[in-house]
Amino acid sequence: MKFHKTFVFIALLLASCTSKSGPAADAPPSGRWSGDYGPDAVRRESVALDLRWEGNNLNGSVKVGVRSIPLTKATFTPSTSAITLEFDAQGSEGQPVHYVIEGKIAGDMMTGTWHHDDVSGDFRVMRE
């Protein structure tokens, strides 16, 4: 009887050690993500991502304020949790601006960098 209780305890302990809380790091990034971005720690703006993992393709949009901008290119590598997003927006003077976003996903958090032209910064979003 004592052996049985010890075996059950060890089995439960091993099961709890291997279980994960939340999605796996290599889980597809589908869903709504929200957070902020900016060129430095002081100047930040709210941002949201709506992403859809369809087969092996990633699609979606970036939402800043009332604007929703479709992604022109998006890749996600499950084995490394690396994500790259690109989209085209209109600059303050009406000129086209091409954004490139590169990041990593860890559970429900995505962090990384963005740039366009000679402007760059970082971002941090969480899955809702």
Question: Per-domain residue ranges for the chain?
Answer: 23-127
pTM for this structure?
Answer: 0.78
At the fourth CATH level, which superfamily is domain 23-127? Quinohemoprotein amine dehydrogenase alpha subunit, domain 2 (2.40.128.120)
Q: Shortest CA distance to 110 belongs to which of 34, 21, 20?
A: 34
Selected residue with higher pLDDT from 42 and 1? 42
Residue 76 pLDDT level (bands cut at 50, 70, 90): very high
74, 85 in Cβ contact below 8 A?
yes
CA atoms within 13 A on the CB side of 23: 18
In whole angstroms, give the CA distance from residue 30 to residue 42: 29
pLDDT of residue 91: 86
**Which residues have C-beta within 8 Å of that of residue 48, sequence separation ≥ 6?**
32, 33, 34, 35, 62, 63, 64, 125
pLDDT tens for each residue of 5-62: 433 334 333 333 333 344 444 578 999 999 999 999 999 999 999 999 988 899 999 9
